[in-house]
Structure 1
Amino acid sequence: MLISGKRAFVTGASRGIGAAIARTLAVEGADVAIGYQRSTGLAEAVVRDIRALGRKAVAIQADSADVAAVTRSVQKAAEELGGLDILVNNAGILRTGELRDMSLEDIDATLNVNVRAPIVAAKAAVAYLGEGGRIISIGSYFADRVPASVLSVYAGSKSALIAFTKGLARELACKGITVNLVQPGSIDTDMNPSQGPYGDVLRQFIATGHYGTGDDIANAVAFLASDKAAYITGSSLTVDGGANA
């Protein structure tokens, strides 16, 4: 097991990529707290799956647009698990549209959830992380390439995580904590289903010719959370089937 005995908190983990990350970390030996906003039933299903593996699991409800809620969720995760070794900032939203047509509410929501929440969660987690601690955020391959104008605000929010990851990696290196970013490409989830309206368009960019799965991202996160990645920090790992090659 890559991370046996570690304690992890994964935000936005009731479904999709987050649920896959939570389950994979448990398979690799971690106790896991999962954050969610609305889908209580889905969150509890992930908790049951983790407990079936013999690991401790707890679901924590929090709105990632609420600063106080984000901070409390990290604190509660540490309390429930008896400490914290790994923070995975996975929660995110996708609001698209030409900038001229986007409402200020959509712009604020995108920045609050995709940028501010990971920063606030990391700030809260630093109080608990020790030597060997890990902060891993989930970005997007659109941070490096923006093939459609309707993605400008979303891509901008994800590109902000690149700089944040680099700066925080330098700040925390002296404490033995690594900070990295995983940038998924087209992953078959509810947010972007492979057979959805954009599936054929996005597939034409992918070198492998097909969408990835949540497990593809989860495996990258598990590696970065492990001792095998101890010398990797401030890095962005793009998992996109060669779409940005």
Structure 2
Amino acid sequence: MHSENENSQARKVLVIGGSRGIGEAIVRRFAEQGDRVTFTYASSEEKAQTIAQQTQSQAIKLDVSDRDALIEAVAEAGALDVLVFNAGLLSAGDPLETAADEIEKLFIVNIHAPYFAAVEAAKEMNKGGRIIIIGSVNADRIPMKGLTAYGTSKAALQGVAKGLARDFGDREITVNVIQPGPTDTDMNPAEGPMNETMHSFMAIKRHAHASEVAGMVYWVAGPEASMVTGAALTIDGGFGA
């Protein structure tokens, strides 16, 4: 696999949650550019290994809700150039009826896990490294009922990025959140039952392609974005406008 990126040598990249949807597109984008990619998956080992073979990357099974296992996996990756945290849970429903355990796990996966992964990665990360967390436009706009916990978890990531950007700035490590709007994935297909409702909030009335989100991630990880840190960058077709 050859590199089209002439501005830097192959980088060491870890993608947490890289076996489907946006995560898979991110793995493929970095691998296509010649970077050395390791990614994690929660299930579907056969699919993960197929992606790994196709992209010449490494797949590791990981439950990100297990804090010790997550920290160990990041530590074993060694000195990274790029960490992308893409794993996440979606829970929607009446907060008066949703089980407390469900919401607690949502917060563990969507808030605690990216925080601990980012901190662990920074311990050995190379100077000028990149930490990128995949959030959601629902951090800024919740246009319908039932998304309080999910929106809260994604809004918290903005605080993580702003704080860690300052904590790691002396080493020129940037920390940013990418906030997609409706994106065509298995979890939110473009032809799904909610597409017309979601598109009604948007200026560009279609789902994003996962490759478009991956393109933004790749840019944030590159040299042209070296002064972008502590930011929440939205790619949502105007959903939050």
TM norm structure 2:
0.95
Amino acid at match of 1:70: L
1-side partners of 2:102 and 2:114: how far apart?
18
Q: Note if contact 1:130-1:176 (Cα within 8 Å) is conserved in structure 2.
A: no
> Where does 1:127-142 land on structure 2 (aligned, <5 Å)?
127-142=123-138
- Counterparts in 2 of 1:108 and 1:3: CA distance versus 1, 3 Å: farther
Shift of 1:3: 5.3
1-side partners of 2:50 and 2:20: how far apart?
10
2-side partners of 1:200 and 1:108: how far apart?
31
Q: Secondary structure at the match of 1:166?
A: helix
Contiguous gaps of at least 5 residues in structure 2: none
Matched, 1:7 2:6: no
Q: Which residue of 1 aligns with 2:121?
A: 125
Shift of 1:242: 1.2
Q: Note if contact 1:3-1:30 (Cα within 8 Å) is conserved in structure 2.
A: no
Q: 2:40 aligns with which of 35, 38, 44?
A: 35
Matched, 1:181 2:186: no
> Where does 1:92-241 land on structure 2 (aligned, <5 Å)?
92-241=88-237
Contiguous gaps of at least 5 residues in structure 1: 52-56
Q: Which residue of 2 aligns with 1:54?
A: none
Q: Secondary structure at the match of 1:100?
A: coil
Q: Secondary structure at the match of 1:150?
A: coil
2-side partners of 1:220 and 1:179: how far apart?
14
Q: Which residue of 1 aligns with 2:21?
A: 16
Q: Which runs of 4+ in 1 moved over 4 A?
A: none
Shift of 1:45: 1.6
Q: Secondary structure at the match of 2:164?
A: helix
Q: How many residue pairs end up in the alignment?
A: 236
Amino acid at match of 1:234: G
Q: 1:44 aligns with which of 27, 42, 49?
A: 49
2-side partners of 1:140 and 1:36: how far apart?
20
Cα RMSD after superposing both structures = 1.1
2-side partners of 1:214 and 1:202: how far apart?
17
Spell out, residue by residue over 1:36-61, the C-alpha distance to the aligned partner (whole angstroms, 9 max, x if none): 1111111112111212xxxxx21111
2-side partners of 1:102 and 1:64: how far apart?
22
**Identity among equivalent pairs (%):** 39
Q: Which residue of 2 aligns with 1:87?
A: 83
Q: Which residue of 1 aligns with 2:73?
A: 73
Q: Note if contact 1:35-1:73 (Cα within 8 Å) is conserved in structure 2.
A: no
Q: Secondary structure at the match of 2:96?
A: helix
TM norm structure 1:
0.94
Spell out, residue by residue over 1:104-154, the C-alpha distance to the aligned partner (whole angstroms, 9 max, x if none): 111011101000000110111012212110000000000000011200100
Q: Which residue of 2 aligns with 1:59?
A: 59
